[in-house]
Amino acid sequence: MKNPIEALNKIFDSRIRLGVMSVLIVNDSISFNELKQLLELTDGNLASHLNTLEQAQYLKVQKSFIGKKTNTTYILTELGRHAFKAHLDALEKMIKGI
């Protein structure tokens, strides 16, 4: 039998990255500041995790301007949505299996 832990996504090992994905799955788009507030993180910490997710192509970054300030928003890609669902399914199977 396949070990269910193998189906868990390594990228989501981090609670913070899991948190970012949870927020994005129920919101069409969300800004950097809103994420920071929700997850109670510092700029640098959040940015590095967002970077990892972006490199995995799980989210897309959109930069725009509000007046003179840059406004960075994030949206989930299809790949990201899929990966998150698969991760949740794996979690569920693991919990039920034990």
Partner 1 sequence: MNKQEEQLNALNDIKKLMDRSSRFISLSGLSGVFAGFTALVGAYLAHGEIANYLNGTYTYGSSIEDLEFNLLKIGFGVLLVALTGGLLLTLRQSRKKNLPFWDRTTKNLLLNLAIPLVSGGLFIVALLLAHPGTYGLIAPSCLVFYGLALINASKYTYTDIRFLGFCEIILGLIAMFNIGYGLYFWAIGFGVLHIFYGTLMYFKYERGN
Site residues, partner 1 (CB under 8 A) = 5, 15, 18-19, 22-23, 25-27, 30, 34, 37-39, 88, 91, 94-95, 98
Name the residue with tokens 């590095």. 48
H-helix or E-strand containing 79? helix 78-97
CB of 70 to partner 1, least distance (A): 19
CB of 17 to partner 1, least distance (A): 11
HSE, CB side, 13 Å, CA atoms: give it for residue 34.
Answer: 13
CA-CA distances (angstroms) from residue 89 to 15, 46, 84, 95? Answer: 17, 26, 9, 10
Name the residue with tokens 């193998």. 6
Name the residue with tokens 């990966």. 83
Name which of 34 and 54 has its Cβ closer to partner 1: 34
CB of 50 to partner 1, least distance (A): 15
CB of 22 to partner 1, least distance (A): 4
Name which of 43 and 92 has its Cβ closer to partner 1: 92
Name which of 19 and 80 has its Cβ closer to partner 1: 19
